[in-house]
Amino acid sequence: MFTGIVTDIGEIIELEQKGDLRARIATHYPVEAIDIGASIASDGVCLTVIATGTSPRNWYDVQISAETVSKTNLSDWRPGKRVNLERALKVGDELGGHIVSGHVDGVARVVSVRPEGESLRVTFRAPEPLARFVAPKGSVALNGTSLTVNEVDGCDFGINFIPHTQKATTWGDVQEGDAVNLEVDTMARYVARLREWG
C-alpha cells in the first residue's frame, strides 16, 4: 500500500529485456535500508526490488512482467527518464494522500497543458471504462501521485499542479500527448459496484 505522496524522483539508468523487462533505477533512498523483496511504487507501479547497489550512485533493480508493461506506460521508459518514487506505507506513517495500491488500472493521455498563475492546469483523457470512476473533487493517482480532480467532462478531467508538486515530482516535465499511469480511487470503485447491485 502507498499514499500517493512522492518521496523521491528516480532515474532509469538501465533497461534489459531478458524474458521479463529488468530495470535499474537510480534513487536518493539509502539502499542499505531497502530490503530485497521490498515494494517501491515507480511512476505508480508497485514493483519488487530484486537487487540494490551503490556504484556509481544508489540504485535498485526491478523485474517487470510483459503483462505489467502492456497495462502501463512502462513501455515508454528509456534511460534518463525521471520517475516518481514512493516506498511502501508502514504502520504509523502519515496518510497524507489517499490509499493507493500500486496496481495501475489503465493509461490516460495528456490532452492539454496550460499555465494558470504559477500553477499548471493539465487535462487528461481516461480510457472510457475507467472514466466513470473519476469524479470532481475525488482522488486519482497519476504516475504515483495522489491528486484531486478539479472537473470532469466525459472522459476528460482536469488537475491543477501547484509549484511545489511540479518541483517535488516529475509533473514539472509534463507535455501534451504523454501517457500516464492511472489508478482510480478504490472507494470510487466500490461505490460504483454497490450501485450496480442497487
Top-tier CATH class for 8-87: mainly beta
Any idea which residue has 526490488 for its cell?
A: 49
**Which triple of cell numbers denotes residue 197?**
447491485
The residue ranges of every structural domain in the chain are: 8-87, 106-197
CA distances from 154 to 128, 138, 139 (A): 9, 15, 17
Is-contact 109 180, C-beta < 8 A? yes
Any idea which residue has 487535462 for its cell?
A: 123
Is-contact 141 100, C-beta < 8 A? yes
Distance between CA 144 and CA 21 in Å, rounded?
20
> What DSSP designation does 2 have?
B
The ranges of the chain with pLDDT < 70 are 91-95, 188-198
pTM of the model: 0.92
pLDDT for res 91: 65
Distance between CA 83 and CA 17 in Å, rounded?
19
pLDDT for res 142: 98
CATH topology match: 8-87 vs 106-197: yes
Is-contact 64 48, C-beta < 8 A? no
pLDDT for res 189: 65
Overall fold of domain 106-197: Elongation Factor Tu (Ef-tu); domain 3 (2.40.30)
Is-contact 142 126, C-beta < 8 A? no
pLDDT for res 38: 96
